[in-house]
Amino acid sequence: MYVILVYDVGEKRVGKMLKLCRKYLNWIQNSVFEGEISEVKLEELKSKARAFMDEECDSLIFFKSRDSKWLYKEIVGNERSNLDIII
């Protein structure tokens, strides 16, 4: 399954969320990840995220597709994932 993940979490939890998501998906921009993942691994990711998320104000959005071929990605401006960042 191909997934696009976007998170929006409080500043204190950004580092933790970024680290968690990077274990499962490829980082493409600020709070956006994409990649192939199994249902089982996706449930694992969600469960680990829920453990520290504040569900009152944080959110995670998943766009799931059976195949990435249904999606065409286009980037305008700077493609951040080419840069290394230090967390």
Residues that bind its own copies (CB under 8 A): 4, 6, 8, 28-32, 46, 49-50, 53-66, 70-80
The residue type at 31: S
Instruction: Identify which of residues 19 and 52 has a Cβ nearer to its own copies in the complex.
Output: 52
Residues that constitute the known binding site: 8
Is 58:10 a contact under the CB 8 Å cutoff? Answer: yes
Residues that constitute the known binding site for Mg(2+): 8
Instruction: Identify which of residues 25 and 28 has a Cβ nearer to its own copies in the complex.
Output: 28
Q: What are phi and psi of 60, to 5 degrees?
A: -130, 130
* Largest Cα–Cα separation, the chain: 36
